[in-house]
Amino acid sequence: MTDVAYIVSAELIAASSQLPSNKGRSSAVHTLIHAFGLSKRVKVIRPVRASYKDLAAYHTREYLDTVLAPQSSASHLHTEYGLDSDCPPFPALDAYVPLVAGAALTAAQALIDRVAPIAICWDGGRHHAQKSHAAGFCYVADCVLALIALKRAGGPKRRTRVMYVDLDLHFSDAVSQAFAASASSARTPQILTLSIHHAAPGFYPPSPLAALPDLASQALDPFTLSLPLHAGAGPDTLLRVWKLVERVREAFVPDYVVLQCGVDALAGDPCAVGNWDLQGLGEVLRGVIRWGVPVLMLGGGGYNTPNAARAWASLTSIALGDPLPLDAPIPDHANFPLYAPSFTLDVPRGTMQDQNTDAYLMEVEKCYEGVVSVIRERMAPAVGVAS
């Protein structure tokens, strides 16, 4: 059994369950994990609410003053801060922002303090939230704040390296953008971001960083990486490209890993673009754990609530080193009817055709071969100093 720090509180669930894009999801997730008996085996840690100063490590004061103001009476839209169609203000917003950021920061601190080698914050992973505006159902940049906290953990003498891997169906635009500027400087960057995601014209979010790296470009930033996939990506495609993530990790040698486990690429999600299954997703987590580096696991997208709960219960059990079998029956609990008609843990792949051809995946592999050698070149002096 592995020690796992698990960040949760009734307050966090209450606020998070009001997230307009995922109403009730937080409650369903934590309830299923409890029903499987997993919450007795993790180290439950209550999140400390992020202070204004904690939030201002990334967000602007104008944005914070808007989202931290009580919303109940004045729930008018603030288009200038992205608080409109995708991200409407909601009554719990002023509690949600410091609680979700605080949960991710509490998880990061648990790793820094060596409370456990794995920390889980399923309410975090809000990878589209920007410095001064909400976007894509995300109101708070908990991923960025956690990365900043881990990066600072080493102190002035030890330059800590953190690798952010994003499994969400959507590109991690805000997180990638937040660290892209520092990655392009001459100094070896401390943070590497890598997003495996779906890309197609018009697919959210539009970002110049969401393409396959261009090895011929002078502007190539080998520390801000994108691995775009076509529609219907199944578990075989995921596990094939995962080998490239392994190689990037070997070249970068991170001290911490932050894994955003958005599950909207799973089969059965209303986005209906990805076709991953729980088996493949579990293999990816097993791979990360084998790296032997402290891991912060965050949530993210996932719009089929029972499947998100299934996935995160399964990943929690893998983190504990005692995986639930995929055919495990859903335990009898208050939300049991949600899990019809299968009433089992598994999320199997669907019938969607995988449009990632062998030729395309070979192109991705060739590109990443080049990226990995550039990372090795850039890391060589840093690795020398560290050892």
Query: Catalytic residue numbers?
Result: 128
Contact between 228 and Zn ion by CB under 5 A: the answer reads no
CB of 128 to Zn ion, least distance (A): 8
Q: Which residues contact 186 (CB under 8 A, 6 or more apart)?
A: none
Nearer to Zn ion, 126 or 378 (CB): 126
Nearer to Zn ion, 123 or 168 (CB): 168
The count of residues interacting with Zn ion (CB under 5 A) is 6
Q: Please select the residue that binds Zn ion; options are 94, 123, 166, 168, rule is CB under 5 A.
A: 168
Instruction: Dig out the tokens for 273 from the structure.
Output: 């673009």
Is residue 113 within 8 Å of 87, Cβ to Cβ? no
- Strands 295-298, 43-45: pairing is unpaired
Nearer to Zn ion, 169 or 258 (CB): 169
Instruction: Dig out the tokens for 243 from the structure.
Output: 């080998």
CA atoms of 30 and 121, how far apart (whole Å): 11
Contact between 264 and Zn ion by CB under 5 A: the answer reads yes
CB of 168 to Zn ion, least distance (A): 4
Going residue by residue from 182 to 201, which x/- string records binding to Zn ion, judged by CB under 5 A?
--------------------
CB of 264 to Zn ion, least distance (A): 4
Q: Which residues contact 69 (CB under 8 A, 6 or more apart)?
A: 94
CA atoms of 161 and 254, how far apart (whole Å): 5
Going residue by residue from 289 to 328, which x/- string records binding to Zn ion, judged by CB under 5 A?
------------x---------------------------
Nearer to Zn ion, 204 or 291 (CB): 204
CB of 147 to Zn ion, least distance (A): 18
Nearer to Zn ion, 82 or 98 (CB): 82
68-73, Cβ contacts within 8 angstroms, sequence gap of 24 or more? 68/94, 68/97, 68/98, 69/94, 70/94
Residue nearest to Zn ion (CB): 301
Stretch that binds Zn ion, among 74-82, 137-145, 254-262, 344-352 (CB under 5 A): 254-262
Contact between 265 and Zn ion by CB under 5 A: the answer reads no
Q: Which residues contact 326 (CB under 8 A, 6 or more apart)?
A: 278, 279, 314, 344, 345, 346
Q: Which residues contact 335 (CB under 8 A, 6 or more apart)?
A: 28, 31, 32, 35, 309
Q: What angle (nearest 5°) sits at the alpha carbon of residue 305, between those of residues 302 and 309?
A: 90
Q: Quick count: other Cβ atoms within 10 Å of Cβ 369?
A: 12
CB of 8 to Zn ion, least distance (A): 22
Three-state DSSP at 52 gives: helix
Contact between 170 and Zn ion by CB under 5 A: the answer reads yes
Nearer to Zn ion, 88 or 321 (CB): 88
Q: Please select the residue that binds Zn ion; options are 120, 169, 295, 371, rule is CB under 5 A.
A: 169
Stretch that binds Zn ion, among 138-146, 164-172, 305-313, 330-338 (CB under 5 A): 164-172
Q: Could you list the residues that contact Zn ion (CB under 5 A)?
A: 168-170, 262, 264, 301
